[in-house]
Structure 1
Amino acid sequence: MYKRLEIVSYQDFDNYDKEYENRYNSPAALKTELSLHPFSKRQQKRLSDRYQLFYLSIPSHISMIERIYKMSAELSSFSLSSVLAPKLFYSQIIDEIKSTNDMEGVKSTRKEINDAYISPSKTKRFSGIVEMYKSILENKFEKIDLPAKFRMIYDQLFLDEMPEDKKPDGKLFRKETIFVGDGNSYVHQGDPNEEKIDENLTKLILFMNNPEVPLIIKAIITHYFFEYVHPFYDGNGRMGRFLLSSYLARKLDFLTGLSISESVLQNKKTYEEAFSITSNPKNKGDLTPFVDALLRIIIQAQETMLSKLSKLTTEVEQLREIINKLSLSEQENEVLFVLGQDKLFDVLHMGISNKQLVEVFEGKYKRTKIDTIMKKLEKKKFVVKIKSSPVVYEMDEKLLEDFV
């Protein structure tokens, strides 16, 4: 088990400095060219000491990274219908935004996020962050090659909902020093001014675009350093997790990327301690424990998502069995199965329009045929019309009363 340097300092102080030198100068050490001023909780401030952040590749991390890639391949190969896939992605976006808000104590409801998803506008809360998470699915994320790009992303995420007194007051970032804490004590101090923020984010961009750093390790270290710099008065945590989600979605798969904040929330104490450990003066910029914690959080996110998909697959099979017992025509069976999947994963509570059904079947059934099938199913009380213009149906929930 990897022993933190702070623990070495307590257990074997005489060899503490030597152990640090051995780790820092090891051939397996990744030196980031990013500098850290550790934070003293006792003195409640950053110290003048400065260390280069470094990461030591250890066997357990290599195994975890292999596991992450393997599970990413499983998630990518999971076959979902044209009805279920978009609903799954949608529900994950909702859960991800709710989780990242909860992490920062930002009150939000799934209904608010739903509303912003369905009809975004500048006057509607969370429209910005919803649109940015939707952009992950559309591969619209722009390469970060200048510090101004961080501000651009921040504006798109939060600016419309951010109170005036928390908006950036510098050219791009905040001008004043900021401390992070729970009201009783501080656990972090961001960069002291905009000049330092700009300098460190420029260095971070060089690191982010270094092709020699392994992708997952790069994503995790970038996440740490962005939070260390803390370029804004508010929204840093949510933006940092968005950047991590976006990166993992592009480099691994959408479902891994869209399940990180949920996993972070489930491991909130571990996540927050990982930052504190790295900033501890006695750890001298060693990122290895932070990487370890984040790798485990990513793995748990993937395991949870695979479990969700497995459960969903079982439910779809059960749905098929229920419909097959109804003695329907082949056409009625197919259409009801689509409506059943929609009902099974009914996030929006909107049903499916006849027009959408034509699209789902990719022209197999013309609109007139769909209309006829739906009227037959309605007469048999298997579907319920919930809207007339346009015509929208959903499966009668009574069919799923015994669903387990």
Structure 2
Amino acid sequence: MGHYQPLEIVKYQHGYEADFSIEAEYKQRLESAAAVVTVLHPLLDYRRGGKQSKQYPLFFVDTPEMVSLASRFSRNSQEIQKVSRELPQTAVSQFLDSLLLDEIINTNSIEGIEVDPAEVSKSIDAHSKARGGQFWPTVCMYRGKLPKIKSLRDFRNIYDELLKGEIPADKQPNGQLFRDELPNSILRIGTATKTVHVPPVSELAVSEALSSLLAFMNADDLPPIYQALVTHFFFENTHPFLDGNGRMGRYLLSTYLSDKYDRFTGFSVATAIHARISSYYRIFKEADKAENRAELTFFIEKMLRMLTEQQDRVLEALRLKAAEQAGCQNATQPAGIGADS
């Protein structure tokens, strides 16, 4: 597995070998004992010609690197919870509030939306008499329990509540629940000059994709971190709304990790992505290519690396606070009273 590469690269490396078949390589990966094949069929883009395909089932290969990163992710979460229990509840609450502040600022910044930190902080402040502000609905959603998503309507309800007051009138969903065909153009993800991905065009196609995602999300046959990252990719690939997809996708990932692991990790998702935004966009683009046949191995590995590195930073900050707390307690301890008394 040391030289395991995306299929597009493998094809380029071996393209001139008469006995090489990229289809045979794909089949070998798909049927490997380490492969996990899902019920999801993302809409993929071919590099040339503007053609698309959804014939390939989304799959990943549980490589040694992925196993190692997933194990490190779980250990970090356990250690974060252990260290946080050494702190007073007020210190824990303040630390989580600071993470949430950064999370909301960064998830907006990723979309090119600059927000006033003071406004976000006002909404986060649990002791504020106003208990309001522009970002109050967003803060409540992040602090709340993992939302239950059992129907297509649930996706829309979460969207409306999370982004209340933040989606302009001309970017509101133009279908019954999601976006539908646009009268003069199709939705393209990318810049004004470069298209990165063209998601499903009609509301019917969006609904069919999200229905398969519902089945995947509500199954319990994968480790939670894998399930969360596959869901994140597929939601963004489907892009069910005209605006706010990135913010909602990161929110879903955040609340899922908060519920299954810990809030410190969950409140660090957008911060981890923002610090590595070029890599984030690149792995999405690679996974969206039809030439890679819906393999998500490299997307999961790189997302895991981003998240675990951010956990390391959180853990370092928590340990520093715990050490400071211990130092303060020792400094105020009466003379003559020690560990052996």
- With the length of structure 1 as denominator, give the TM-score of the two structures: 0.75
For these two proteins, the number of residue pairs brought into alignment is 320
Q: For 1:331-342, what aligned pairs fall within 5 Å after superposition?
A: none
CA deviation after TM superposition for structure 1 residue 25, in Å: 1.5
Confirm or deny: 8 A CA contact 1:100 1:261 kept in the other structure. yes
Q: Does 1:165 align with 2:170?
A: yes
Residues of 2 paired with 1:164 and 1:230: CA distance?
Answer: 18
Q: Residue 128 and residue 170 in structure 1: after superposition, are their counterparts in 2 closer, same or farther (change >3 A)? A: same
Give the unaligned 5+ runs of structure 2: 335-341
Instruction: Encode CA deviations 1:241-264: one digit per residue, 9 max, x unaligned.
Output: 110011111111111111111111
Name the CA distance, whole Å, in 2 between partners of 1:316 and 1:213.
39
CA RMSD of aligned residues (A): 2.0
CA contact (8 A) 1:126 1:161 kept: no
Structure 1 residue 286 displacement after superposition: 0.7
What is the Cα deviation at residue 160 of structure 1?
Answer: 1.8
The structure, 1 or 2, with the larger RCO (C-alpha pairs under 8 Å, 6+ apart) is 2
Q: Is 1:287 the counterpart of 2:293 in the alignment?
A: no
Compared CA separation, residues 52 and 114, structure 1 to 2 (3 A):
same
Mapped to 2, the partners of 1:266 and 1:117 lie a distance apart of 22
- Which residue in 2 is equivalent to 1:88? 95
Q: Which has the larger radius of gyration?
A: 1
Q: Which one-letter code corresponds to 2:31 in the other structure?
A: N
The 5-angstrom pairing of residues 49-128 of structure 1 reads 50-78=55-83, 79-118=86-125, 119-121=130-132, 124-128=133-137
Which contiguous aligned blocks of 4+ residues in structure 1 show a shift greater than 6 angstroms? none
1:3 has 2:5 as partner: yes
Aligned to 2:338: none
C-alpha change, 1:300 and 1:277, in structure 2 (3 Å) is: same
In 1, Cα distance between equivalents of 2:306 and 2:51:
28
SS in 2 for 1:36: coil
**Whole-angstrom distance in 2 between the partners of 1:302 and 1:49:** 35
Query: Is 1:147 aligned to residue 152 of structure 2?
Result: yes
The TM-score, its normalising length taken from structure 2, stands at 0.89
Kindly state the Cα deviation for residue 175 of structure 1 after the two structures are TM-superposed.
1.0
> What CA deviation, in whole Å up to 9, does each residue of 1:47-106 have, x standing for no partner?
146311111111111111111111111011112102201111111111111111111111
The 2-side partners of 1:49 and 1:308 are apart by 44
- Counterpart code for 1:269: S
Distance in 1 between the 2:213 and 2:306 partners? 23
1:308-387 to structure 2, matched below 5 A, reads: 308-320=317-329, 324=332
Q: Does 1:243 align with 2:248?
A: no
Unaligned runs of 5+ in 1: 328-404
The equivalent position to 1:262 in structure 2, one of 256, 271, 281, is 271
Q: Distance in 2 between matches of 1:48 and 1:288?
A: 19
Q: Which residue identity is paired with 1:73?
A: Q
- Partner residue, 1:198: 207
User: Could you tell me how far apart the structure 2 residues matched to 1:41 and 1:184 are?
Assistant: 16
**3-state SS of paired residue (1:175):** coil
Deviation larger for 201-210 or 11-20: 11-20
Which has a greater percent of strand? 1
1:317 Cα deviation after fit: 4.1
1:398 alignment counterpart? none
3-state SS of the aligned residue for 1:245? helix
User: Residue 162 of structure 2 contacts residue 248 of structure 2 at CA under 8 Å; is this kept in 1?
Assistant: yes
* Aligned-pair CA distance for 1:313: 2.3
Report the CA distance shift for 1:49/1:240 in structure 2 as closer, same or farther (over 3 A).
closer
Say whether the 8 Å CA contact 1:41–1:186 is kept in structure 2: no
Contact preservation (8 Å) 1:128, 1:160: no
Contact 1:38 1:49 in 2 (8 A): yes
